[in-house]
Structure 1
Amino acid sequence: MCGITGIFDSRGQREIDRAVLERMNETQHHRGPDGGGLHIEPGVGLGHRRLSIIDIATGQQPLYNADGSICVVFNGEIYNYQSLIAELQALGYVFRTRSDTEVIVHAWAAWGADCVQRFRGMFAFALWDHNQETLFLARDRLAVKPLFYALLPDGTLLFGSELKSLLAHGGLAREIDPLAVEEYFALGYVAEPRCIFKQARKLPPAHTLTIRRGQPVPAPQAYWDVRFSLDQPLDVEEACAELKDRLQESVRLRMIAEVPLGAFLSGGVDSSAVVAMMAQQSAEPVNTCSIAFDDPAFNESEFAKLVAERYHTNHHVETVKSDDFDLIDTLARLYDEPYADSSAIPTYRVCELARKHVTVALSGDGGDESFGGYRRYRMHLLEERLRAALPHGVRKPLFGLLGRLYPKADWAPRVFRAKTTFEGMARSSVEAYFHSVSILRDPMRAQLFSPRFKRELAGYNAGDVFDGHAARAGTDDPLALIQYLDLKTYLVGDINTKVDRASMAHSLEVREPLMDHELVEWLGSLPSTLKIRGQEGKFLLKKGMEPYLPDAVLYRPKMGFAVPLARWFRGPLKQRVREAVLGPRLAETGWFNRDYLQHLVDAHQSGARDYSAPLWTLLMFEAFLRNVLDAGPTAARQPEVAVALS
C-alpha cells in the first residue's frame, strides 16, 4: 500500500518545482514509510511513497517500462498479477521485477485504457506515457483506494491519494463547496465525486481519466458497473457450495505477501468468515486482532474469542476504554474532509493494534452491502410492502400528515417509534431510503442551515445523489436497488474512506476479500431471497458458513462497531460539545441557525432527546474547520475564505 501524488501541465511543458512536489509527496509519508521517489520532466511530476508488501527488493516506484517512456505510480494491489505476467510475457513483454506494479506499464502498452478491465484488485494509479503525451488516472471498481484531483485555472492538474497532498501544493483554493456541506450533514461524508473544496474532485469508483497534453481535460469515463440481474437459478445447497469456493479463492489471492499478514476479527459474521477461510488455506496459525470495549453494550470480544479458539489463531486483543474520545482533532486532520462516522475511533484503534503484529490485514468489510446484512434493509422491505398496497397519491398526503403530527419518540421501544415509518411511507422508494440513512433528515437540515446558506444551495438536496444512482441501477427489485445505492454511496464514501485513512495512518495495508469484484458480480446474479429470507439477513453467507462457524456467531443480533456518543455528550464531553457547537468557529461561517444549534445541545444534554449523531456531525465539522481549513501557510486568510462560498 502506498501514497501517490503528482502535478501535470495540461497545456504545455512548464517546469515542475521539485520542492513543491517533494512537499506534496511527504504529506503522505504515513502511507509509505519504506521509501519515496519522484519522476520529473517538463510539464510532468509524479511522486510516490512506498509501503513494501510484494517484491520488496525490486518494486520501487516510480516504475518504468524498458525504454523509460512509460512511468507509473501506483497505490494498491493487483491480485491476479501473476497470471497477467504470464499473459504479457506471451505477448513479448520482458519483466525486470516480480512486482504487480510492472504489470500496469506493460498492460497499458498492450491494451491502452482497457488495461483496467484486466485488473482484479484495489488500485489507484497515475501513468504517464511520454510518447503519447498522455496522463492516465484510474481507480478500482469499488473505490477501495482513494484518488483526489483538481484542475487549477492555469491548466495545472494536481492529484493525490489524500486531499492533504493537493493542499500542500499551495495553488488549490480553500473555497468550500456548499453542496458538499449539504451532503455531509445528510450523510456524514461528502459523496463521490464531490469534494469539500470546490476546485477538487474524487475520481469516481470504476472510472478512468485520460488527459492528453494540449487538449481540454475531459470528464472521467466509467469502465465497470455492478448489475443486479438476480437470474442465477441456484438452490440454497448449490449456492452455498459455490460461495465457499469463491470465498476461498478471494481470500487466497489476498494472502499473497512478503510481510507478516493477519486479519481483523470483530466477532461478527463477515470477519469471522474471512478468518475461517484463511485458516483453511494457511499452514501456520492465522494472526487475528480484536478490540474489546470496557462497556458491555459495545463489546463483541467474546464472540471473536470463540472463532479464535476454534481455529487456534494467534489472537491479539486490546481493550479500548469507553471514554476513548481523544482522537477528535487527530481524525479531522487524518480525513482532510468532514467525516462523521464515529466508528472511525475503534477502527483507528484496531489498526493501531494490528500494525504491532502484521503489515497486511484482511477485513470483512463489504459483506453487509453484498449479502444483505443491514437491519435497515429489512425495515425498507417491510415498508416497501406497505407502500405497494397504496398508490403514492394516497400515501403522500396521508402519511405525510401523520409524520408531521406524530411525536418523535427516541426513548420508546422501537415498535412505538412510528414517526420515521410514517415519514418514509409518504415518500418514493429512493426518497424513503435516503431518508432512513440520513443523519440529519430534510426537516432537520431545513432548521439547521441559515437563510443565507440555503440561498447558496439554490434548491440542491443531497437526495439528488441517490436519485442519480437509482437512475443507473438497472433494477426495480426493492433489495437490489438499495444494495446498489449503498455500493455507490455508503460503502465508498463511509466504509472505504474510514478504513483507508485509519489503516494508512499506521502504515497498515487492509485487504477486503468480500469486495472482490467477481464475487460482487456473482452475488448480484443471485435472487434477493438468498440474501434476506424472512427476518434473517445475510441468509446465504450464514448458511454457507454453518460448517465453519458456531451458531452463536452466525445467528446473534448484529451489534456494530459503535461508541457511546449519547453518554459522552451528557458526561465527559458535555462542555466540549457545547463549546464546539455553540462556539465562534461555527458561528463565524454564517451557515447555521444558532437557535437550532442551541436546541440540539440543550435537548440532548437534558435527556429530552437523543441528538448524539447530529451533535457528533457538528463536532467533527467544527474540528475540520479548525484543523484543515484554517491550517497551512494561508491560515491567516482562511476565515475570510471559509465564508466566501461562491
Structure 2
Amino acid sequence: MRDRDSDWLITYNGEIFNYLELRRELISLGRVFESDSDTEVLLQAWAQWGVEALSRLNGMFAFAVFNKRTGELWLVRDRYGVKPLLWGRLPNGGLVFSSSVASVATDVGAEIDLDYCARGARYKAFELPESGAPFRQVHAVPPGCWVKVQISDAGLDVTEGQWYDLRHAVVKRAATLTSCTDQQLLEECRLVLESAVQLRLRSDVPLAVSLSGGLDSSSIAALASRRVADLKGFTYGAPDAAESEGPVVADFAKRVGIGAEFIWPKFDANELDALLERTFVSQEAPFGGLSVLAQNEVFRTVHQAGFKVLLGGQGGDESFAGYRKFFVVALRDALSRHDPRGAVHFAWSLGLMLLHEARQARMYWQGLSRYSNRRPFEFQLLDWQSPAINLWGDGGTALSVRQIEDVQRWSIPSLLRYEDRNSMSHGLETRLPFMDYRLVELALALPARLKIAKGFGKWALRSIDKGTVPDFIRLNRRKRGFDVTQSWIEGGIGASLRRRIQDHRGALAAHLKPKLDIDRHLTNERLSNDRNLLDEALMLAWLAEPVRAPNRLEPAA
C-alpha cells in the first residue's frame, strides 16, 4: 500500500488493535483515509510521526516501509516479537527480508547455527534478541527494534536501533503505582485485562477462543464470553478423558456458557509422522517437546471449523509470575535484602506449593536440569558443547527482573514462535491479550506480594478473576496441558525420529557423536522418560533437513 500524500509504501504482517482510535486522531490532524483498514492507519501514522508512531501502537506487527525518494527502508518489529521479521544480505550485496526463515536462508545461502539449535534443545530457549534464527546469515529484527537500510549509489548502509525498552517501561510504570493500595492495584489490573480482551475482539471474521483448562485461557474466555454471543472454545482433550484437560474444560464451558469443541484424535503411525513433518515445515526451526505438534493440530482443526481468529492465554505465566521457579527467585531476593517479613511470606508460599504438588515432583525434577550448572551438561547424541547459562539469576535478582528475562529471552520468544508459525501455517490468526504491552508492564511492575501468595503464583490474576473464573480453575495448582509424549512416542513418533536420523546419517555425521547406536539410544522408553533426549532427537530430525519445501505442508482448506 502507498500513501498518496507522501512517498511511503508499506508491506505489513499483523494487527493494530487500537487502529480505530489512531484513525480518529489522524483525521483530527487533517489526514484523509481511503479505506477502513489498519494497514492504511499504520501507513499514515508512519507518514505523520515516523518512528515516534511506534509507541502509539497497540498490536502485533512486523512491517517494512520504503521511501523511494529518500531511499529509506525501515524494518520494524513489535515490542515482544509476536510477529516474525527476518533479513539477510545477498551474495551480490543486496538485502532480502521476509517473515519466513526458510525463504531468507535459501536466498542468502545460509549455514546452520548449531549454537542456536543446541542452546534451544538444552535450555528450551531457541530465540534470543541476539540470536533469533537457526542460520548464521539470517538475522531476526529483535523485538522492539528497527533496522534501517539507506539505499544509495554507494550501496546499502544498514543501521539498527531500539524503539522499546521493557526494563525502562516497567520502572516507569512502577513509579506510578507507589501510592496505590493493593485493592487499587488489583482494580487497575482488572480494567487493563478487560481492555486488552475487548481490543482483540475487534474482528469482521469468525472468532473463537483457546481453552487449556488453565487460569490464563479461562480468564480470556470468560471475559470474551461477555461480549461475544455463542462463543466457541477449542481444547486438546476429551470430556471423558481424565488424562487430558477435557473434563475441566467441559465443566468450565458449561458454567461460563460457551460451546466447547474437543480435539482428541487417535492417530496411527503414518498420521503421526505426517503431523511431525507438518510441524517441522511450519516451524522452520527446531522446537522442544511434542506439545508443539498438538498445538499445530489444534490450530488446523480450528481453521477447518471456519474460524479465522483465535484468542489465547499465552504470556500470563511470565507477566503475572505463574512458574514455580518464581517462588524460589522471590525467596532468594527477600533473603538477600535481609527482609524477614518477605522471606517468611515467600517461604510459606513455597512450602504450601510443594506440599500440594508433591505428586509432580518427578516432572519438576526433570525440569530443574535446565537450571542446574553444578555439573557440565553433556548431550547424548549431539557432538557439541552447549555454553553454560545461569537461568536462575544471581541471588539478589529481583522477581520482576527475572520475569523480564523470561519475557525477553528464556520463555516468551520461543513460545511466540511456536504459536505464530503453527497458526499462520493454517491461515489462522492468534491474538494474545496477555501480551498487550499495557498489561505486561503493569503486571511486571506489581509488588512481589501480589504475584506470589498463599501457595499460589499469579495471585493478582487469581484475585481479579474471583467471580469470573470458577474456583476449581482459579484456585487449582495443577495444569495438565498438551501432555501427549508417551502415547505418541509409542504410537509412531519414536520410530519416525529414529528413521529420520538414520536416513540422513550422512548429512548429520558432522553433528553426531562417533559410533552412535541410534536404535539403542533412542528407544521409545528412553524418549518417553527423558525430555532432554526427546528434544535432542527432535533437533537432529530437523537438522537432517533444515529447509523443507513449503508444498510439503498440506494446504489449508
- TM-score normalised to the size of structure 2? 0.83
Listed as ranges, the matches of 1:184-583 within 5 Å are 184-188=120-124, 190-192=126-128, 193-194=130-131, 195-214=133-152, 216-227=156-167, 228-229=170-171, 230=174, 232-233=177-178, 234-282=180-228, 284-293=229-238, 296=241, 298-321=243-266, 325-326=272-273, 327-355=275-303, 356-381=305-330, 435=371, 443-445=376-378, 448-450=381-383, 453=384, 461=387, 463=389, 477-566=397-486, 568-569=488-489, 572-581=492-501
Distance in 1, Cα, partners of 2:525 & 2:380: 20
Contact 1:332 1:627 in 2 (8 A): no
Structure 1: distance between partners of 2:30 and 2:509 = 60
Determine the structure 2 residue equivalent to 1:613: 531
Q: Is the 8 A contact 1:124 1:147 kept in 2?
A: yes
Counterpart of 1:102? 40
Inter-CA distance 562–510: structure 2 relative to 1 (3 Å threshold)? same
Deviation of the 1:599 alpha carbon: 10
- 1:565, distance to aligned residue in structure 2 (A): 2.2
Q: Match for 2:93: what amino acid?
A: G
| 1:134 and 1:212 in contact (8 A); partners too | yes
Which residue is equivalent to 2:350? none
Could you tell me how far apart the structure 2 residues matched to 1:418 and 1:287 are? 33
Deviation at 1:271, TM superposition (A): 0.9
Equivalence for 2:2: 64
Give the conservation status (yes or no) of the 8 Å contact 2:237–2:263: yes
CA shift at 1:219, angstroms?
A: 4.0
TM-score, length of structure 1 as denominator length: 0.72
SS at match of 1:122: strand
Structure 2 Cα separation of the partners of residues 288 and 538 of structure 1: 23
Aligned length: 518
1:221 is paired with a residue whose SS is: strand
**Deviation sequence 1:487-509 (CA, Å, 0-9, x none):** 01244432111111111121111
Does structure 1 retain, via aligned residues, the 8 Å contact 2:239–2:262?
A: no
Counterpart amino acid of residue 444 in structure 1: F
Cα shift at 1:289: 1.7
User: For the Cα contact (< 8 Å) 2:110–2:138, is it kept in 1?
Assistant: no
Q: Secondary structure at the match of 2:209?
A: strand
**Partner SS, residue 320 of structure 1:** coil
CA distance in 2, matches of 1:416, 1:303: 23
| Structure 2 contact 249–260 (Cα < 8 Å) conserved | no
The one-letter amino acid of 2:279's match is L
Give the Cα–Cα distance (whole angstroms) in 2 for the partners of residues 508 and 280 of structure 1: 23
Unaligned runs of 5+ in 2: 339-357, 552-557
Q: Structure 1, residues 287-344: CA drift from partner, whole Å, max 9, x if none?
A: 2222215994641122222232223223322323387733111111111112224211
* Closer/same/farther in 2, CA of residues 611 and 190 from structure 1, 3 Å limit: same
C-alpha contact 1:236 1:540 (8 A) present in aligned 2? no
1-side partners of 2:292 and 2:326: how far apart?
A: 23
Contact 2:504 2:544 in 1 (8 A): no
Q: Which residue in the other structure is 1:624 paired with?
A: 542
Return the letter of the residue paired with 1:122.
M
Q: Does 1:76 align with 2:14?
A: yes
* Deviation, structure 1 residue 479: 1.9
How far off its partner does 1:190 sit? 2.8
Change (3 A) 1:137 1:381: same
- Specify the SS of the correspondent of 2:111: coil
Q: Supply the distance in 2 between the matched residues of 1:305 and 1:318 (Cα, whole angstroms).
A: 12
8 Å contact from structure 1 (residues 124, 138) kept in 2: yes
C-alpha offsets along residues 51-91 of structure 1, whole Å, 9 cap, x if unaligned?
xxxxxxxxxxxx11115721111111111111211221222
Equivalent residue runs for 1:125-140 within 5 Å: 125-140=63-78
Task: Report the Cα distance in structure 2 between the residues aligned to 1:285 and 1:90, rounded to whole angstroms.
Answer: 37
Q: Which deviates further from its counterpart, 287-296 or 155-164? A: 287-296
Residues 262/416 of structure 1: CA separation in 2 closer, same or farther (3 Å cut) = closer
Residue 267 (structure 1) shift: 1.7
2:244 partner letter: N
Q: Within 2, Cα distance between the matches of 1:589 and 1:344?
A: 27
Report the alpha carbon displacement of residue 574 of structure 1 after superposing the two structures with TM. Answer: 4.4
Distance 2:362 2:296 in 1: 36
Q: 1:106 to 1:476 in 2, by over 3 A?
A: farther
Structure 1's 162 and 341: CA in aligned 2 closer, same or farther, altered over 3 A? Answer: farther
Matched, 1:181 2:117: yes
SS at match of 1:489: helix
- Contact 1:75–1:123 (CA under 8 A) maintained in structure 2: yes
Q: 2:191 corresponds to which letter in structure 1?
A: D
Partners of 1:206 and 1:569 lie apart in 2 by 38
The alpha-carbon distance between structure 1 residues 220 and 597, as it changes in their structure 2 partners (threshold 3 A), is farther
Given that 2:235 and 2:246 are in contact with CA atoms closer than 8 Å, whether structure 1 keeps it comes out as yes
Shift of the 335–533 alpha-carbon distance from structure 1 to 2, 3 Å rule, reads: same
Q: CA deviation at 1:113?
A: 1.8
